[in-house]
């Protein structure tokens, strides 16, 4: 079965015919070519596919595209405006919160979701918000610093 | 004009040159490539751990609509492997399968569902053989050989006996021996293995984009396995989602994609699942170690006698190198004269092990630093004192002929001792809390490459054209460790120009000079030096051009990076003007830089394989780990880690910190939670939940001190930063647990289950009045 999916992706309203069993991550990567969102596991294990659905971080690999009717989806590609990195992106870049970069889109979106809800998170808040996202390079130290730097920048 | 000076880039924190692409999602990893005609490739894997392949029938799969190609072992022209002396693996199994999940056939189809359906239509008849899942079973009398040319299932046995071990033991005031058992661990890099192969049928040319740390080795093996000329292959390395050694060799995903693309005459993408990525493995082997040390009352070590048995998995892979490192790396960190080693690398019916960050050295370090910690306490010495009693004096050659040219371990010890408050806090943290420490070291690249061809270790090309930008062409694989940034820094610093002038193009065999790849922490040292050499050659050309234009002698030209001038009163020439002068009559500038190791660093001939361990420079690290142990659940919390790492001159301190934190943390996973588990050869851990890498919630603050014992031959004095502090975490953790609750853990990972068992055994032994603790 197929569904006509009406959805807003990165600010652009779209209508697409999608199979009912298509995962949101496959819709984003394969149907509309937004390959910034990554697949790091076989489902719900690593957080690399994290996107915002109506502002909340969700695993795109555990979400059926057809269930996103009328939703607002934001991926990592949505954050930079007019070629300028967003605060969270600049934090990850300048503090070296990204080494290989593969977990980064998911990390960045989970952190973006956090800062939208809680602009002044404590370290414990940051750890809690990123608990479902695995990074294998950094030991997370600089990821925490990256989110803190972004929160500071947004506050100033 | 007096305030103009060359731009400094070395020693300053530099965000990565490819960072913006990573944080915006623009960075393209292998699985992100596509083409209108691209097919989906899937691999059929063996359901049995050891069997003869009686027949493979692909007729029904080939007949399925939407299937464009099916390949089997018959399509492989040859075997492959990373060591030229041990290439015994087939891209797709021929004659025999030797582990559960080994690739047997592959299919390319129009979509994933069709490919998956086709796999189910391939009929393979197996004749099962006895399978061995432990080193002990495989070594047992009567076990059949996995490979005919490896009798007794011994991939390699290593023996050396240097100095006077028996005399050293006799001379010691205290001799102690312990055995250790370490589980197998896997790199579990975030990006599952992926390969995108394009085949140009008109020209018979293959282009491969794959998740690899070693594009050159992939190039070699693609030509070999496809039976084509190496000039028919182009390998382009895209962005890579980590490696940690899992991709330091050609993998079946790459070979299967290439075989399918050629047969189908189309592009084929093979993206492995996480489960298949775990099956592909190439991790650190399960090991048993026996370590015996003799020590004088003052803590000086008189002799070391040890044995290591590694369960290597089904194919040779890096095995010979891994077991040799396990022995040779007893040297190079402390002043040890007499040491004896017996090493056995065993072939078993489990996924093949490979080279994992800290290759070969990690378990040796765990055993050694655990044992000497216990001995220190028995002798009434502080653990720091024992390490200090055995320090080396650089420059020196070790007993097994390893060159040690720079040595900052003493400074590392001083810092972690002070920063952790060791003297004031040790023993005073209250119940169930403790501090532990350990040291470690690692090579900065192997001085003898695996493929000895006579070429330099590293080659860099720089290209400068009319726009006055500098294009740095390197084969060195940027895999997230920041190598492209370091190379840009080396060139910028040598020329004194802004890094913005430099564009790095990494790893495209059609454009960039050959490089052996990113492993053994070779890139900063070797490719960094080649980058400096290239920049110096470019600078000489620019100075010559400036001299011509300024009508002065080249030795009178003052190079200020962005300005070249004849003296302080001279307005000078801009970089652009100098470049245009240099291009006059010559056109686009291309210069080259190379690096080669010095013969003194090649390692010895004292025993078979003694060159393994030879390096231009060692990094050193010391760390202190603070733990709290829950007495009811035996759960360990790492409260904090203080680590000092001697990387020589820190070219990019931001990146060095990131590498050291990542190393310590990866050591933590191995020490506390990570292990591969199998049942009859079936993986029980093959996902990111059951293979427990630490999450952000489990991970401690890691405070890093960079120690800069400059190496005389290193690029600006630099040494390696990305591996040396991993192995120290394991013993520092168990030493901290011993300090907290008084038990010595010898089995890793130290999960709550294992620690509870150990506590129970200890309590039982104490009740029985015996001293022996298993």
Per-position DSSP letters for B652-720, written without gaps between them: SHHHHHHHHHHHHHHHHHHHHT----EETTEES--STTTS----TTTPPPEEEEEE----TTSGGGB--
* CB-based contact, B110 to chain A, within 8 Å: no
B107/B215 same-domain check: yes
**pLDDT value of position B773:** 44
Among B361, B349, B346, B356, residue whose Cα is nearest residue B312: B346
SS3 B509: coil
| Dist. CA B652–CA B105, nearest whole Å | 45
Query: Residue B120: inside a domain, yes or no?
Result: yes
- If you measure CA to CA, which chain B residue comes closest to A48? B190
A8/A64 same-domain check: yes
B508/B403 same-domain check: no
The percentage of chain A sitting over the pLDDT mark of 70, rounded to a whole number, equals 100
Eight-state DSSP code of residue B524: I
**pLDDT value of position B568:** 82
Contacts of B486 in chain A (CB under 8 A): none
Query: Residue B336: inside a domain, yes or no?
Result: no
Contact (Cβ atoms closer than 8 angstroms) between residue A39 and residue A48: yes
Cβ–Cβ below 8 Å for B695 and A104: no
A145/A98 same-domain check: yes
**pLDDT value of position B770:** 55
Contact (Cβ atoms closer than 8 angstroms) between residue B344 and residue B154: yes
CA distance B635 to chain A (A): 19
B238/B209 same-domain check: yes
**pLDDT value of position B570:** 86
Q: Buried (b) or exposed (e) across B307-320, using 16+ Cβ within 10 A? A: bbbbbbbbbbbbbb
Residue-wise pLDDT tens digits, B116-154: 999 999 999 999 999 999 999 999 999 999 999 999 999
* Cα B595-B601-B605 angle, rounded to 5 deg: 135
Residue B396 forms beta bridges with which residues?
B404
Query: Residue B92: inside a domain, yes or no?
Result: yes
Eight-state DSSP code of residue B351: P
The A residues from 48 to 77 touching B (CB cutoff 8 Å) are: 48, 75-77
Among B76, B72, B92, residue whose Cα is nearest residue B226: B76
Domain closes at, from A57, A78, A99: A78
Cα separations in angstroms, A47 against A107, B569, B608, B668, B689:
8, 60, 47, 21, 11
Provide the token pair at B339.
């040491």
A74/A91 same-domain check: no
Contact (Cβ atoms closer than 8 angstroms) between residue B278 and residue B686: yes
List the single residue in A42, A85, A134 with the smallest CB-CB distance to B693.
A134
**pLDDT value of position B261:** 98
Domain holding A47: CATH number?
3.10.20.30
B481/B424 same-domain check: no
A18/A74 same-domain check: yes
Number of domains, chain A: 2
Find all residues with CB under 8 Å of B80, minimum gap 6, and list them: B87, B89, B90, B91, B221, B224, B225, B250, B255
Phi, psi of A135 (to 5 degrees): -120, 140
Q: How many residues does chain B have?
A: 774
B517/B416 same-domain check: no
A59/A92 same-domain check: no
Query: Residue B578: inside a domain, yes or no?
Result: yes
Contacts of A130 in chain B (CB under 8 A): 696
| Dist. CA B561–CA B7, nearest whole Å | 7
Contacts of B188 in chain A (CB under 8 A): 136
Query: Residue B392: inside a domain, yes or no?
Result: yes
CA distance B686 to chain A (A): 10
Contacts of B187 in chain A (CB under 8 A): 136
Cβ–Cβ below 8 Å for A102 and B191: yes
Q: Which of A102, A111, A112 is most worth mutating to test chain B (most B CB atoms within 10 A of its CB)? A: A102
* CB-based contact, B658 to chain A, within 8 Å: yes
**pLDDT value of position B774:** 40
Domain holding B77: CATH number?
3.90.1170.50
**Could you tell me whether strands B339-347 and B154-162 are parallel, antiparallel, or unpaired per DSSP bridges?**
antiparallel
A54/A113 same-domain check: no
- If you measure CA to CA, which chain A residue comes closest to B26? A36
Query: Residue B161: inside a domain, yes or no?
Result: no
A36/A91 same-domain check: no
SS3 B222: helix
Cα separations in angstroms, B261 against B37, B69, B221:
11, 8, 16
Q: Which of B22, B278, B638 is most worth mutating to test chain A (most A CB atoms within 10 A of its CB)? A: B22
A72/A119 same-domain check: no
* CB-based contact, B579 to chain A, within 8 Å: no
Q: Which region holds residue B347: left if phi is over 0, alpha if psi is between -120 and 50, else beta?
A: beta
| Dist. CA B176–CA B196, nearest whole Å | 54
Q: How many CB atoms lie within 10 A of CB B598?
A: 11
* CB-based contact, B654 to chain A, within 8 Å: yes
Domain closes at, from A54, A78, A102: A78
Domain holding A130: CATH number?
1.10.150.120
A7/A36 same-domain check: yes
Q: Which residues, given as ranges, of chain B have pLDDT below 50?
A: 1, 772-774
Provide the token pair at B408.
């900052």
CA distance B530 to chain A (A): 23
Segments forming the whole domain that contains residue B276 = 33-129+190-242+247-280
**pLDDT value of position B604:** 84
A6/A62 same-domain check: yes
B496/B525 same-domain check: yes
| Dist. CA B748–CA B734, nearest whole Å | 9
SS3 B301: strand
Provide the token pair at B138.
């495989």
B659/B577 same-domain check: no
ipTM of the complex: 0.98
Contact (Cβ atoms closer than 8 angstroms) between residue B448 and residue B603: yes
Number of domains, chain B: 3
Query: Residue B351: inside a domain, yes or no?
Result: no
B271/B404 same-domain check: no
B575/B633 same-domain check: no
* CB-based contact, B480 to chain A, within 8 Å: yes
CA distance B479 to chain A (A): 6
**pLDDT value of position B768:** 84
Contacts of A141 in chain B (CB under 8 A): 661, 665, 699, 701-702
Segments forming the whole domain that contains residue A111 = 87-155
Q: What is the 3-state secondary structure (H, E, C) of chain A?
A: CEEEEEEEECCEEEEEEEECCCEHHHHHHHHCCCCCCCCCCCCCCCCCCEEEECCEEEEHHHCEHHHHCCCEEECHHHCCECCECCHHHHHHHHCCCCCCCCCHHHHHHHHHHHHHHCCCCCHHHHHHHCCCCCCCCCCCHHHHHHHHHHHHHHHC
Q: Which sign does the torsion angle of CA B415, B416, B417, B419 carry?
A: positive
List the single residue in B18, B662, B688 with the smallest CB-CB distance to A41.
B688
A96/A70 same-domain check: no
The percentage of chain B sitting over the pLDDT mark of 70, rounded to a whole number, equals 99
Contact (Cβ atoms closer than 8 angstroms) between residue B293 and residue B371: yes
CA max distance for chain B: 93
Query: Residue B291: inside a domain, yes or no?
Result: no
Domain closes at, from B596, B627, B650: B596
Eight-state DSSP code of residue B342: E
Domain closes at, from A78, A96, A120: A78
**pLDDT value of position B2:** 55
Q: Which of B17, B21, B23 is most worth mutating to test chain A (most A CB atoms within 10 A of its CB)? A: B23
């Amino acid at each position: 079965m197929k569904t006509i999916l009406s959805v807003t992706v990165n600010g652009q309203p779209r209508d697409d015919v999608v199979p009912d069993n298509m995962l949101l991550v496959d819709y984003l990567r394969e149907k509309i070519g937004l390959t910034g969102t990554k697949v790091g596991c076989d489902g719900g294990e690593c957080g690399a596919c994290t996107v915002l659905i109506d502002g909340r971080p969700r695993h795109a690999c555990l979400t059926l595209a057809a269930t996103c009717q009328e939703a607002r989806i934001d991926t990592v590609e949505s954050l930079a405006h007019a070629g300028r990195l967003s605060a969270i992106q600049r934090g990850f870049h300048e503090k070296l919160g990204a080494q290989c970069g593969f977990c980064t889109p998911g990390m960045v979106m989970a952190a973006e979701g956090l800062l939208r809800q809680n602009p002044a998170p404590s370290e414990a808040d940051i750890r809690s918000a990123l608990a479902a996202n695995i990074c294998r390079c950094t030991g997370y130290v600089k990821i925490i610093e990256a989110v803190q730097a972004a929160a500071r920048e947004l506050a100033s | 004009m007096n305030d103009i000076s060359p731009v400094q880039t070395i020693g300053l924190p530099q965000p990565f040159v490819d960072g913006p692409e990573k944080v915006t999602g623009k960075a393209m990893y292998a699985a992100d490539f596509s083409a209108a005609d691209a097919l989906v490739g899937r691999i059929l894997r063996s359901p049995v751990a050891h069997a003869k392949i009686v027949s493979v029938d692909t007729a029904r799969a080939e007949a399925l609509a939407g299937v464009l190609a099916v390949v089997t072992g018959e399509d492989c022209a040859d075997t492959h492997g990373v060591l030229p002396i041990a290439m015994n693996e087939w891209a797709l199994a021929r004659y025999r399968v030797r582990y559960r999940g080994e690739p047997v056939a592959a299919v390319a189809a129009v979509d994933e569902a069709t490919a998956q359906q086709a796999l189910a239509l391939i009929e393979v008849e197996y004749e099962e053989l006895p399978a061995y899942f432990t080193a002990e079973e495989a070594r047992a009398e009567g076990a059949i050989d996995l490979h005919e040319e490896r009798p007794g299932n011994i991939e390699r046995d290593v023996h050396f006996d240097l100095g006077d071990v028996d005399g050293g033991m006799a001379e010691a005031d205290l001799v102690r021996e312990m055995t250790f058992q370490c589980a197998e661990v896997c790199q579990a890099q975030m990006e599952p293995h992926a390969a995108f192969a394009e085949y140009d049928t008109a020209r018979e040319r293959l282009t491969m984009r794959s998740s690899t740390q070693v594009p050159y080795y992939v190039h070699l093996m693609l030509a070999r396995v496809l039976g084509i000329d190496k000039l028919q292959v182009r390998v382009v390395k895209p962005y890579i989602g980590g490696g940690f050694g899992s991709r330091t060799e050609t993998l079946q995903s790459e070979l299967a994609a290439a075989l399918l693309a050629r047969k189908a005459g189309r592009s084929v993408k093979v993206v492995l699942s996480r489960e298949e990525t775990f099956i592909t493995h190439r991790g650190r082997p399960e090991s048993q170690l026996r370590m015996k040390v003799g020590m004088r009352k003052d803590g000086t070590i008189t002799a070391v006698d040890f044995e290591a048995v590694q369960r290597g998995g089904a194919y040779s892979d890096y095995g010979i190198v891994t077991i040799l490192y396990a022995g040779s790396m007893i040297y190079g960190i402390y002043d040890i004269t007499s040491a004896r080693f017996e090493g056995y690398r065993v072939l078993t019916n489990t996924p093949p092990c490979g080279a994992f960050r800290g290759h070969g050295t990690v378990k040796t370090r765990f055993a050694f630093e655990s044992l000497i910690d216990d001995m220190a306490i028995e002798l009434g010495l502080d653990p720091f004192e024992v390490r200090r009693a055995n320090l080396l004096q650089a420059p020196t050659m070790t007993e097994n002929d390893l060159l040690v040219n720079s040595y900052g371990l003493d400074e590392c010890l001083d810092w972690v001792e002070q920063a952790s408050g060791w003297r004031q806090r040790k023993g005073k943290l209250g119940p169930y809390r403790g501090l532990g420490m350990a040291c470690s070291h690692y090579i900065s690249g192997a001085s003898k490459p695996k493929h000895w061809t006579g070429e330099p270790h590293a080659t860099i090309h720089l290209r400068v054209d009319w726009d006055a930008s500098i294009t740095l062409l390197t084969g060195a694989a940027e895999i997230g460790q920041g190598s492209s940034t370091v190379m840009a820094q080396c060139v910028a610093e040598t020329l004194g120009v802004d890094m913005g002038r430099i564009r790095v193009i990494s790893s495209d065999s059609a454009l960039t000079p050959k490089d052996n790849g990113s492993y053994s922490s070779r890139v900063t040292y070797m490719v960094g030096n080649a980058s400096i050499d290239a920049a110096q050659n470019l600078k000489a050309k620019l100075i010559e051009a400036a001299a011509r234009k300024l009508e002065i002698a080249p030795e009178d030209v003052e190079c200020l990076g962005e300005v070249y001038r004849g003296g302080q009163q001279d307005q000078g020439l801009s970089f652009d003007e100098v470049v245009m002068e240099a291009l006059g009559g010559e056109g686009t500038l291309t210069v080259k830089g190379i690096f080669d190791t010095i013969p003194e660093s090649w390692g010895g001939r004292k025993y078979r394989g003694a060159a393994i361990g030879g390096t231009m420079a060692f990094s050193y690290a010391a760390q202190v780990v603070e733990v709290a142990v829950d007495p009811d659940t035996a759960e360990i919390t790492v409260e904090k880690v203080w680590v000092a790492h001697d990387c020589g001159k820190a070219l990019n301190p931001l990146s060095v910190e990131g590498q050291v934190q990542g190393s310590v943390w990866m050591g933590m996973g191995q020490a506390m939670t990570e292990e591969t588990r199998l049942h009859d050869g079936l993986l029980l851990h093959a996902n990111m939940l059951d293979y427990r890498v630490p999450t952000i919630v489990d991970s401690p603050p890691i405070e890093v001190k960079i120690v800069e014992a400059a190496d005389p031959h290193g690029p600006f004095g630099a040494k390696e930063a990305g591996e040396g502090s991993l192995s120290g975490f394991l013993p520092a953790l168990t030493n901290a647990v011993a300090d907290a609750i008084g038990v010595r853990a010898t089995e890793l990972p130290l999960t709550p289950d294992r620690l509870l068992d150990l506590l129970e055994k200890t309590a039982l032994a104490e009740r029985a009045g015996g001293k022996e603790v298993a």
